[in-house]
Amino acid sequence: MKKIINNPSDVVDEMVEGLAKSYPTYVKRVEDTEVLIRNDEKKDSPQVALVSGGGSGHEPSHAGFIGEGMLSAAVCGQVFTSPTPDQIYEAVKSVDKGKGTFFIVKNYSGDVMNFDMAKDLADMDDIAVKSIIVDDDIAVENSTYTQGRRGVAGTIFVHKVLGYYANKGATLDEIEVVANKLVPEIKTIAVALSGATVPEVGKPGFVLEEDEIEFGVGIHGEPGYRREKLRPSKELAQELVGKLKASFDFQKGERYAVLVNGMGATPLMEQYVFVNDVLNLLSEEELEILYTKVGNYMTSIDMAGISLTMLRLVDEEWLTAIEAPVRTIAWGN
């Protein structure tokens, strides 16, 4: 294992500290926790707080999306491990401004359970909390750590759209309505070229041969749905677009946003080759692709691979929400 770390057991603590020190105008660390919160909150215009998080190893998720127009706080669990209820509750207490807090939770058993327990703690202190469970991965159901479909890179679109509504003053109930309409319209599927190495484990979670790939792998290295020989980008795009087409039941003229996401070790050069193939295929389907984003947003440590997310824009304001400017470390333009 070759990694630029000190003690493997200190990776998350040192990462959180380094991030907070690097971007103090964006975020600050809640003392004695693995919680990062906004450091630019406007005191005179409180809004619903958005809290997300999960196991570390998916950077820039979730702390990279803290800031005006997106998240209020991110809770960093240990690598590929759900954050604890008390850490989540510390985030709630740090960012709730009396308008309530909304949780954005990826669909993993530990995350769902621990965020629910944190909600119970908040209820005891009369802090209103609501939540949405993101389950955008269409590859498999009831995989490792999951009941139902996994939450993966589509979570970033949820951060962005709900962040827009929170920023413009939507109530907790109004954000819940948007979330319940939004999440079913987001679908993701991935392909892996290599496994991820958790620092404290010291070896990849799974091993693929030099000429082998696996379709449908999860962001913690959970099993996919098929292994086979490496194919050219155009054929990978055909496989992933085909799965999304079947899941969405594409109709001519439908409007979509597209996110091509690197899993940690895939160069941007390859991501742009892949998105070119994807967009050509979607053009053949006569869909309107109104927004495209490419880069590393929901990674899996050092996994080589790529995921493809599509959001069906059934509400016109969602495009406005995605395009709205934000002030975060990782969203970009």
**Cα-based distances in Å from 104 to 119, 175, 195:** 12, 11, 26
Q: Is the pTM of the predicted complex or chain greater than 0.85?
A: yes
Bridge partner residues of 29 (DSSP): 36
Which tokens belong to 58?
A: 């998916």
Cβ atoms of residues 307 and 152 within 8 Å: yes
Distance CA 16, CA 77 (A): 10
Which tokens belong to 133?
A: 């469970």
Instruction: Name the pairing type of β-strands 27-29 and 35-38.
Output: antiparallel
CA atoms within 13 A on the CB side of 245: 16
Three-class SS state of 259: strand
Q: Which of 41, 47, 43, 14 is nearest to 26 (CA)?
A: 41
Bridge partner residues of 104 (DSSP): 52, 132
Which residue intervals of 6-95 are DSSP H helices? 11-22, 85-95
pLDDT tens track, the chain, 333 positions: 899 999 999 999 999 999 999 999 999 999 999 999 999 877 667 999 999 999 999 999 999 999 999 999 999 999 999 999 999 999 999 999 999 999 999 999 999 999 999 999 999 999 999 999 999 999 988 666 667 899 999 999 999 999 999 999 999 999 999 999 999 999 999 999 999 999 999 999 999 999 999 999 999 999 999 999 999 999 999 999 999 999 999 999 999 999 999 999 999 999 999 999 999 999 999 999 999 999 999 999 999 999 999 999 999 999 999 999 999 999 987
Which residue intervals of 96-154 are DSSP H helices? 109-124
The H or E element containing residue 248 is helix 233-248
What is the CA 252 to chain-centroid distance, rounded? Answer: 28
| b/e map 207-221, b = 16+ CB within 10 Å | ebeeeebbbbbbbbb
**φ, ψ of residue 291 in degrees (nearest 5):** -155, 135
Tell me, what's the pLDDT at 195?
A: 96
Instruction: Name the pairing type of β-strands 212-215 and 186-192.
Output: antiparallel
Distance CA 225, CA 6 (A): 36
All domains of the chain in start order, with CATH:
8-184 (3.40.50.10440), 186-323 (3.30.1180.20)
Tell me, what's the pLDDT at 143?
A: 66
Tell me, what's the pLDDT at 145?
A: 62
Which tokens belong to 177?
A: 């309505």
Sign of the Cα pseudo-torsion (57, 237, 330, 90, in order): negative
Tell me, what's the pLDDT at 144?
A: 66
Contacts for 43 with CB less than 8 Å, ≥ 6 apart: none
Q: What type of residue is 209?
A: E
Cβ atoms of residues 36 and 30 within 8 Å: yes
Distance CA 140, CA 225 (A): 7
Could you give the residue numbers annotated as active site? 58, 220
